[in-house]
A and B are shown apart, each in its own frame.
Chain A
Amino acid sequence: MSRKRKRGRKRPPHENKKHTPLSLDALQDRAQAELRAGRFRTAIASFKELLKQEQRPAWVTALGEAYSGRAKGLADKGLFKEAIVLWENRAAACQQPLVHPFYFRLLFAAGRVEQAVALFRDQKGYLEAQGWLAELRVQFAAQALAGYTAAIQGLPPDESVVTDYPAAVAALRAYADGDDTTLETMLKRIPFRSPYRDFRQIFKALVTFDNAPASAVRLLEHIPPKSPFACLADAVMAATQSGAALFQSLRAHDKETCHFVTVLRGWSEPKQFSLLQELMQLGEKSAPERLMRFLLRNAGALGEDYVKGIAMKLLIPYPEGRRSYSKSFAELTPFDLYRIAALAEEHDEEPDLFRLYDLWMEAVGELDKMGAGQGTDDGLRTALILRHVAEECLSFDPLQDEAMEALERSLKYDPDDLPTYLRLIAHYRLAGAANEARRVLKQALTRYPEDIEILTAAVETAVAGQAFKKAAGYARRILEIDPINSKVRGILLESHLSHAGKQIKRRKLELATKEIEQAAQWARGEQATGHIELMRGLLALADGDADAARCHFDRGDERLGGGLVGRFYLLLAAARAEQPMAKILKQAKLSSLSETAEHASVVELVRVINESPDDELETLKAIMEHFATPLRQAVKLPFSETESELICEMLRRLDQAKLRVSYARAALKRWSGHPVFTYHLVDATYDSSFEPLSSKDRMQLQTAYERAREEGDMRSAHRIGELLDRRNPFLPPHRLSPPIPEDNAFGPEFSDLVDVLGIDKVIELIMKSGDAAEVSALEKELGSEGLRLLLETMLRGGTPEDLGGILGGTEGLPSQEGPKPKRSAGRKRPQNKETHPDQFDLF
């Protein structure tokens, strides 16, 4: 069939090419594909083409669907008149009914209310039969209240939309006028089944909104989202929110709704509404320059002081704003410049702590020039900055001394800062600087003679210096203030017993007796006296009185709960007195350890050991040798999942790899594939060997890693990932958090290996490692010499550029996936650091 094409007529895309006519089947396939893909315009053309050839009912239905989809698409774009034409074409071409709630909505949206009324009146029977009547009545009600009174004028006078309209309008006016009595009366006149029901519910919410916003929200939740009144409900709902939620909600609404909300919230002045609009445009994370402009423009309303403070904060991310700031307020002082530069350095992804320290110190220098002294604001500022600097630098070894100096100096400007004294005392005590600790303590005691924390620090300092009399004096002062203070009793008891142990070792038994008696003065409760009994037992043994010793050991064992824990404490006391543990255990003649390996006893032992501090780790490891047999026997006991995990943790901490394998294996029999036990099993199996993981173990770990992540057990996932990375450097890293700074592309562990084994041996190990496929692929690409060169470069800490040079590109290298390497702790202080404020990069 040929016909002249009209000029300007747009051709569907498939007509653009010259081709032979499609077969019916092909055309049908294409039409259906277009329909499925939502390309309704071309689908209409295709189905029309098909229907010209043959009138198949399925094609008629499909054409109807295409028309319907196109009409909805046009309505979405606000092209209601065009949508109406498409819908009417659908009815004509496909013999489908014109009347539908969607058609009514199109008519209302296009402003053809009279046409909708006429259609409703004429087709009421059909609409009722379809079950659409109630829905349409609500639409008419919403139209009437939206001001289109024509929506009710042509309807029969007995229609509920018409009969209930006066009450609804009166309620609306009464609300707007603040006449709550009339509002209530009018709302009562609206029946439950009225098309104005949703409207009534919204007004009930509005009445409760003032006093009980939560109740208002509950009422609004009953409005169906498809209701034509849902837009009003949304507006009231938005007004119940505050802060960021309100802003978020407003951003999702149109201008009319925003206006509605602001008026409802009491911001009815036009200026307030325009401010709201402007602030909403700033966005959640405002661009600094826009925020600066807004602040400066509204400085009067926001408060000069306030804006000045915020504007200065803005200079940290936005140093270009300095000129605007100076113009509006004043030139920044050198102090402000140093402070802003220091804060900017702190916010840097990789702050240079040397530079940071210098900047803050320059700021302090500026305050000094301004006459900062004790009791002045600038003096207090100086003290606060010095403490802040100390906080920033304490964790950085090369600046430890500077941090302490800063803390000490801060006390000159602000001597009333108890935490600073405590921090200094603890630091000096732990660093073994007893004189310094005592000096600061003396200052603190003068200022805070009755403070428990300072007095406790005094006890600890005295005990550390073995000045027990002094310690006892401070302890008595504490107990006068706080008679139930158990911490100070514990410190003194522990220290006397420890000292008694040392005297026993030196065979100074009289002195040991004195220490034990002094310890007894501070002992309260079964536990404390139990420890004293054990020490008395050791003393009696040293004195050659085995019978007395056994009595003391028995009493101590009983008071400390017996079982494995009793033995543990006995061995701990022996270790402190540096007595041979096996011999003491034998002489104590307590029941055999294997007899006491009961469930509760093992669990209690694990708790006690896990709570023991790390500074006794070596002693704990030595004691653990005596528990190997009972713990081996206890593997078969039915421990819970948590108990099994705690046992494995204890064994990991005490380097008991074989026992850990046994417990992890037993746990995996009960909880197959459990990530925690899989980790313990594999980790303990390989222990300290340099062997790469077998493919079976790697698979097992990989599965456990995935499972841990799925179950949200991030700790296990992290540990397993770390184990996989450590044992298989060629696999992509399993990182859940920012990686540890690495010295070379393989990580610190390999750096250590290079030091210990030499580079050749390490390369040999890597080439034999588990991921043979990766290694072979690289070897194929680079040749064995190239691979060797690559590995050597990586192990020697080569940069991505170095590695790229070897590979001819840097894609996929491990070092590129992590962040830039951080400086190592021992890095030397940079020589050419300029800290004059006017030369900062910032400004």
Chain B
Amino acid sequence: MQDPYLLLGMSPSATDDEIHQAYLEGVRRYPPDKDAQRFQALHRAYETIKTPKRRLQYALFDTELPTPDALFERLCPSDNRGRVPVELFTAVLRAGASKENNTENEQRE
């Protein structure tokens, strides 16, 4: 299971109400009809830490370590989209041109 605090964007010192609000916000952003997997993960996370007793239980017995991507999400939680500058387009196209030969050969083989 993914770290429930990471998923809900909460710290371990968050209150019941803060966790509930974060869950509702998550559900609004990822309703089950749009992203069922994410919704289920949010729901599981909420169920895991929704009360002080459950948070204590999680703190006492959970041994799962966060994956690098989960850590990155916590460090860089931006869901904004950025615009890629022209130079990056050209850089990707140039890098792609030098790899094309490999692709071509793989396809031939």
Contact = CB atoms under 8 A, between A and B. Distances in A.
B28 interface: no
Given A175-B83, A284-B67, A247 B91 contact: no
Nearest to B80: A266
Interface in A292-321: 294, 298, 301-303, 305-306, 309-310, 313-314, 316
Contacts of B86: 172-173, 176
Contacts of B78: 265-267
Contacts of A244: 67, 69
Contacts of A808: none
A725 B12 CA distance: 52
Nearest to B95: A256
A343 B63 contact: yes
State the main secondary structure of chain B at its contact with A. helix
Nearest to B100: A105
Given A302-B71, A309-B12, A314-B65, A259 B93 contact: no
Interface residues of A, number: 80
Contacts of B1: none
A275 B93 CA distance: 24
Interface in A206-245: 209-210, 225-226, 228-232, 235, 243-244
A279 B67 CA distance: 9
Interface size bracket, B side: 35 or more
A243 B70 CA distance: 7
A282 interface: yes
Contact of B88 (A105, A260, A347): A260
A235 B82 CA distance: 14
A286 B70 CA distance: 12
Interface of B: 2, 5, 11-13, 52-53, 56-57, 59-76, 78-86, 88-105, 107-108
Listed residue (A106, A243, A347) with the most chain B CB atoms within 10 angstroms of its CB? A243
Contacts of B81: 209-210, 264-266
A225 B100 CA distance: 10
A259 B95 contact: no
A254 B96 CA distance: 9
B102 to A, nearest CB: 5
Nearest to A247: B69
Interface in A599-629: none
A105 B68 contact: no
Interface string A153-179: 000000000000000000011011110
A536 interface: no
A256 B91 contact: yes
A443 to B, nearest CB: 19
A230 B52 CA distance: 51
B74 A306 contact: yes
21 contacts: A72-B101, A76-B105, A80-B98, A102-B104, A177-B83, A178-B83, A228-B100, A229-B96, A231-B93, A231-B99, A235-B92, A243-B70, A246-B69, A247-B67, A247-B72, A260-B84, A263-B82, A279-B69, A279-B72, A313-B63, A339-B60
A147 B88 contact: no
A145 interface: yes
A263 B64 contact: no
Interface in A46-95: 72, 75-76, 78, 80, 83
Nearest to A232: B92
B103 to A, nearest CB: 7
A285 to B, nearest CB: 9
Nearest to B61: A388
A276 interface: yes
